[in-house]
């Protein structure tokens, strides 16, 4: 931990569950020093049992933090303080000695590739927040594994928190409890400290019985010390520290040092009618249909898709040169609005038991409701919005928050891949990048080679989403869909990706880019999407097999005229879908070039610069 103020009361709180003395010394020191600092009333070492989970849920019901949804089996609804509803990029920082270790130094303005805080500023921020911050509350000790406990690709963490909501959610999202604790003995662990920042007695009443401290919210990462320190927010991305904080920001830095990749990617398996199977990893910014793709019902007869993970992939080359991937998570923390039987039937089959819903609307018969659920309300059933007000469709505002969530066990998904918990991971043969681009970008194209593929990932752009505090629909740069999640300098991250090509015997996956969201001049989508996206996956699958024809264009290979299987699809205008407009791409090249020059500046690898120039030349020749 950073230098700490001496606690006013240097007395260890009583341990109400578990045995501190049985823990390895480093774990015990971590817990004791923070207990003395934060001064909780008691310490509870989590075992992850069903019995414990019931007690935690009962505590939250008693505190008014959650309510039972009587329509479903073991499902719960939490409504947060309206000031605590999303990740807050402006308050999410990485602490390193030099700014350039965290982000490239931009040519002008501030970096959009992460926020750096100096060690001195962090020490001050820490010391104004944490002393006494858990008074009157229980400090829960959550030992957890990111990835299957026995996997060589997995990592262990311990999160200290004063939020029972975090305990219940981490039990779903990670392998949490006794098994993780047992595997601690001789392993390093990531130290995670979280407080809602509301010591008891309260100075002011809570909103929705949801403790948080928005004025002092700070989510800090100390990669050199493998520490995550979060204060003031109870919302998932800021408080479930195994998720983006550990699995991406800290893990990407560990991955750089250990020679692997920690990525914001789904993992899916696809099997053709002949029974041949391939695995793909795919990076999409929030709200681009990532969970829908991971759980897709393919429209093509005889094809099967199975889900390994919907959000994060840890990937490492094995001794045979295969890129092996695990999903480090144990659950889905999905965006509820837009999830329906049409868009994601497998999610709908997953989420109505053992699930914590946050900031969705509630129906008077004990169910949930949100925009795009596509289910008519039973006559006489009324809706209460996430703001706890009576709601009708004519209210002019959404019934569920745009970033409302379901937190649900992955094992309940009917199409989980049989190898989803395989310790060695699954072999990745294709990597897909994608974004929400209404204009100019074709349905699918393939990179010419690995370097060109890394450039395509670096140049990703997409409409901004509600998952963070950005408002409105603007096209934002989101390289690798990792812009808010890089754990170190993006230029060095690109160099790390490029270095994979120099690994002896590495079987480099093919790299593709997709865009399901292109529109025509009337603003209508040109591609039906959802299950029909399996047609694009079929082309990729066959490209890897060396069977599907393609034609080179200025931006990459696109399907040859008859290569995309459109059997049974009507009114698909391939000419518009694959049009590569010189005017559009000249502007696109200028945007990407300016972004690299300003944001990545001196840290842009020369291979990316070379790809940029090559693209520019090819566009000129259109």
Annotated active-site positions, please? 288
- Count of C-beta atoms within a 10 Å radius of residue 38: 24
Q: Determine contact, residues 213/241, Cβ cutoff 8 Å.
A: no
Nearest to 33 by CA among 144, 119, 160: 160
Is the sign of the CA dihedral 26, 31, 32, 36 positive or negative? Answer: positive
Q: What is the helix (H) or strand (E) element at residue 382, kind and residue range?
A: none
Question: Distance (Å, rounded) from C-alpha 162 to C-alpha 268?
Answer: 35
Question: In b/e form, how buried is each residue of 443-475, taking b as 16+ CB within 10 angstroms?
Answer: bbbbbbebbbbbbbbbbbbbbbbbbbeeeeeeb
Determine the Cα–Cα distance for residues 236 and 254; give it in Å rounded to an integer.
Answer: 23
Looking at 152-299, list the stretches that DSSP marks H as alpha helix, in order from N- to C-terminal side: 164-173, 178-182, 236-239, 251-258, 290-294
What is the C-alpha to C-alpha distance for residues 561 and 554, in angstroms, rounded to an integer? 17
Q: In whole angstroms, what is the distance from residue 261 CA to residue 314 CA?
A: 6
The rounded distance, in Å, linking the Cα atoms of 99 and 105 is 8
> What angle is formed at CA 83 by the lines to CA 79 and CA 87, rounded to 5 degrees?
90
Q: Where are the alpha helices (DSSP H) in 533-581?
A: 534-545, 574-577
Asked if 212 contacts 198 with a C-beta cutoff of 8 angstroms, the reply is yes
249, exposed or middle or buried, with CB in 10 Å at 0-12, 13-18, 19+?
Answer: buried
């Amino acid at each position: 931990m950073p230098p700490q103020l001496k606690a006013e009361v240097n007395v260890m709180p009583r341990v109400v569950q578990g045995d501190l003395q049985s823990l390895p010394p480093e774990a015990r020191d971590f817990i004791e020093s923070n207990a003395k600092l934060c001064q909780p009333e008691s310490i509870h070492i989590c075992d992850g049992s069903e019995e414990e989970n019931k007690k935690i849920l009962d505590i939250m019901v008693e505190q008014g933090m959650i309510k039972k949804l009587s329509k479903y089996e073991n499902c719960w609804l939490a409504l947060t303080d309206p000031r605590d509803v999303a990740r807050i990029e402006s308050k999410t920082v990485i602490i390193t000695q030099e700014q350039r270790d965290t982000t490239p130094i931009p040519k002008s303005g501030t970096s959009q590739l992460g926020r750096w805080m100096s060690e001195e500023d962090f020490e001050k921020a820490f010391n104004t927040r944490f002393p006494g911050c858990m008074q009157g509350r229980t400090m829960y000790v959550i030992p957890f594994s990111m990835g299957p406990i026995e996997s060589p690709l997995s990592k262990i963490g311990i999160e200290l928190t004063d939020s029972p909501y975090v305990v219940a959610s981490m039990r779903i999202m990670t392998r949490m409890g006794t098994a993780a604790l047992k595997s601690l003995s001789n392993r390093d662990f990531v130290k995670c400290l979280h407080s809602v920042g509301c010591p008891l007695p309260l100075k002011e009443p809570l909103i929705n019985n949801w403790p948080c401290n928005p004025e002092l919210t700070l989510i800090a990462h100390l990669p050199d010390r493998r520490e995550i320190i979060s204060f003031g927010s109870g919302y998932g991305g800021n408080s479930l520290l195994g998720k983006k904080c550990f699995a991406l920001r800290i893990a990407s830095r560990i991955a750089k040092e250990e020679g692997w990749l920690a990525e914001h990617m789904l993992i899916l398996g696809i099997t053709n009618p002949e029974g041949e199977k391939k695995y793909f990893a795919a990076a999409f910014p929030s709200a681009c249909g990532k969970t829908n793709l991971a759980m897709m019902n393919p429209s093509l007869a005889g094809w099967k898709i199975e889900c390994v993970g919907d959000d994060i992939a840890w990937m490492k080359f094995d001794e045979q040169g295969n890129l092996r991937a695990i999903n480090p998570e144990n659950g889905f923390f999905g965006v509820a609005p837009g999830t329906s039987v049409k868009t994601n039937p497998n999610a709908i089959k997953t989420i109505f038991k053992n699930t914590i819903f946050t900031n969705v609307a509630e129906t008077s018969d004990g169910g949930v409701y949100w925009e795009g659920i596509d289910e008519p309300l039973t006559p006489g059933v009324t809706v209460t919005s996430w703001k706890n007000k009576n709601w009708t469709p004519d209210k002019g505002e959404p019934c569920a928050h745009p970033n409302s969530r379901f937190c649900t066990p992955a094992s309940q998904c009917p199409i989980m891949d049989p190898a989803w918990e395989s310790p060695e991971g699954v072999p990745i043969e294709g990597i897909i990048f994608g974004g929400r681009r209404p204009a100019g970008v074709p349905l699918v194209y393939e990179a010419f080679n690995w370097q060109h593929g890394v450039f395509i990932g670096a140049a990703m752009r997409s409409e901004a989403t509600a998952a963070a505090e950005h408002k409105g629909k603007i096209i934002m740069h989101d390289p690798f869909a990792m812009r808010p999640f890089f754990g170190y300098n993006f230029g060095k991250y690109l160099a790390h990706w490029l270095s994979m090509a120099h690994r002896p015997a590495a079987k480099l996956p093919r790299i593709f880019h997709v865009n399901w969201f292109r529109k025509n001049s009337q603003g209508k989508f040109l591609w039906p999407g959802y299950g029909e996206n399996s047609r694009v996956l079929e082309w990729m699958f066959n490209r890897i097999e060396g069977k599907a024809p393609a034609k080179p264009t200025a931006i990459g290979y696109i399907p040859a005229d008859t290569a995309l299987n459109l059997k049974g699809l009507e009114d698909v205008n391939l000419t518009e879908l694959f049009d590569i407009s010189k005017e559009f791409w000249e502007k696109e090249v200028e945007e990407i070039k300016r972004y690299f020059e300003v944001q990545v500046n001196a840290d842009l690898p020369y291979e990316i610069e070379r790809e940029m120039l090559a693209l520019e030349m090819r566009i000129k020749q259109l």
